Amino acid sequence: MNFPSVNPTKTKAWRKLQQHFSEMKDVHMMDLFKKDDARANRMKIEWNDFQVDFSKNRITDKSLSLLIELAEEVKLKDAIQLQFDGEKINKTEGRAVLHTALRDLDNLKPEVKETLQKMKLFSEKIISGNWRGYTGKAITDIVNIGIGGSDLGPKMVTEALSYYKNHLQVHYVSNVDGDHISETLKKLNRETTLFIVVSKSFTTQETLANAITIKEWFLEKGNPQDISKHFVGVSTNIEEATSFGISKENIFPIWDWVGGRFSLWSAVGLSICCSVGYQHFEELLQGANEMDHHFKEENFSDNIPVQLALISIWYANFFNAETEAVIPYTQYLEKFVPYLQQAIMESNGKGVDRNDDFVDYQTGTIVWGNVGTNAQHAFFQLLHQGTKLIPVDFIGFSESLHGNQKHHSLLMANFFAQSQALFQGTYKKEVADNFKSFKGNKPSNTILISKLTPKNLGSLIAIYEHKLFVQGVIWNLFSFDQWGVQLGKKLADKKLLS
């Protein structure tokens, strides 16, 4: 079975969707709700601790069934199977795409199992204080040095799970801007800091420059033989990591079948492990693994990532929506959107299809957003009354972690009110002044999760990973390469030499 390669615009379903769009484009969701009492109940998926309500979209049952026809015509089922089977579906780099194998806890590859065990023992030593720095003191601070997928995923998860964190302070240095590193170093004591150099390739300019500067800073007081007490590495490139000075036993391997932007589940997540402990890290993997099963096994009509992806295609390719907003109603997920930006935009920001032809349809979602309620006081004006169609994902949690019910009620009242205001607007209501009117009919999905636990966070991240995979399959793209970042890197290198 070959990885499918179907031009979506040449399918029967696409033509039917175009026809259907002409019937749907002026329909107001308020009328859809009025005609159909059961809509809200039908257009939702309940799974584990998740309730995903997609009723507030400009869709009908017919829209959904045509979108599923599209998924079937582009052979989505085969594509999913091939990904999980470990076929080299990342053809332009000749690699398999198996981040799902990192969290397949009942069926781990031996090398993954061994690395998880190494992460467990290492993080336990650091947390307990048994790992000592060069003057015999316990570690108090951890600095993750990495960029892109070697930074955004672990940084986002560490912050998202800060409720579960221990005494260690975890810092992230990514930007080659020397001010970033100086600001971080000024908070640190060499004797009690552990540096994790995270680079899949171990050739990334920014990470190497930062790692070298930090090593020099360390050596101002420490001795070269102390490096092994303060520097560990995560990489596929053991040779480069050792020649940087990291001792072999301090290197945590990853593999070429783990894409950088999907690597937080691997040893790239070592800083997460140290911050919240191995048990919580394993729960994160467990949650993602359960979502993997759901994605692989559930019918498309009850499949959360598939439904979200199809609805997104509906807006991008038929309504010509250019962007999507993601608004988590929890401060813990403040870094979720920047993380998603790399995952989604580096994956599907492509204009050449799997037949190596330039495409003549829209691909790639521009994703943006910020946490609610802050976002309401920043850009929601444009969502409500602007001229652009911007579908929104609202993500909220039924229970707060600290149990402050008064605040949580305020937060959740806003969470529900915003999606209601977006779809209802002031439709068919008398409004004296146009500037006070809201057209409504603005689409959103509501993802309500019982509680922000490591497991639920794992499932949530996996939803978006699978969603972008589905969209890449439909758009006929190679979602797992990133050739688009090469030219700029080359030009920067040239400028350095000249």
Residues that bind ligand F6P in the complex, under the rule CB under 6 A: 147-150, 199-201, 204, 207, 260-261, 346, 482, 485
- In whole angstroms, the minimum distance from the beta carbon of 485 to ligand F6P comes to 4
Q: Which of 10, 12, 428, 489 is catalytic?
A: 489
167: its two tokens = 């005494």
Alpha helices in 374-404 (DSSP H): 380-385
Q: Return the exposure string of 59-82: e unless at least 16 CB atoms fall within 10 Å of the residue's CB, then b.
A: bbeebbebbbbbbebbbbeebbeb
- In whole angstroms, the minimum distance from the beta carbon of 257 to ligand F6P comes to 14
Could you confirm whether 384 is annotated as catalytic? Answer: no
For residue 318, count other CB atoms closer than 10 A to its CB: 20
- In whole angstroms, the minimum distance from the beta carbon of 454 to ligand F6P comes to 23
Could you confirm whether 377 is annotated as catalytic? Answer: yes
- In whole angstroms, the minimum distance from the beta carbon of 159 to ligand F6P comes to 18
Q: Which of 377, 402, 494, 495 is catalytic?
A: 377
Helices then strands, each counted (H, E), the chain: 20, 11
- In whole angstroms, the minimum distance from the beta carbon of 491 to ligand F6P comes to 14
Q: Which of 346, 408, 442, 465 is catalytic?
A: 346
Question: In the complex with ligand F6P, which residue's Cβ is closer, 259 or 443?
Answer: 259
Question: In the complex with ligand F6P, which residue's Cβ is closer, 300 or 480?
Answer: 480
Distance between CA 292 and CA 289 in Å, rounded? 5
Nearest to 285 by CA among 120, 435, 143, 419: 120
295-300-301 Cα angle (round to 5): 125
Cβ-contact 64, 299 below 8 angstroms: no
141-147-148 Cα angle (round to 5): 130
Q: Return the exposure string of 282-315: e unless at least 16 CB atoms fall within 10 Å of the residue's CB, then b.
A: bbbbbbbbbbbebbeebebeebbbbbbbbbbbbb
Question: In the complex with ligand F6P, which residue's Cβ is closer, 346 or 393?
Answer: 346
Question: In the complex with ligand F6P, which residue's Cβ is closer, 3 or 262?
Answer: 262
Question: In the complex with ligand F6P, which residue's Cβ is closer, 236 or 301?
Answer: 236
In this structure, the dihedral spanned by the alpha carbons of residues 240, 244, 250 and 252, taken in order and rounded to 10 degrees, is -30
- In whole angstroms, the minimum distance from the beta carbon of 203 to ligand F6P comes to 7
The set of residues, in sequence order, having a beta carbon less than 8 Å from that of 187 and lying 6+ positions away, is 141, 171
Question: In the complex with ligand F6P, which residue's Cβ is closer, 207 or 424?
Answer: 207
Could you confirm whether 402 is annotated as catalytic? Answer: no
Q: Residue 476: helix, strand or coil by DSSP? A: coil
Residues annotated as part of the active site: 346, 377, 489
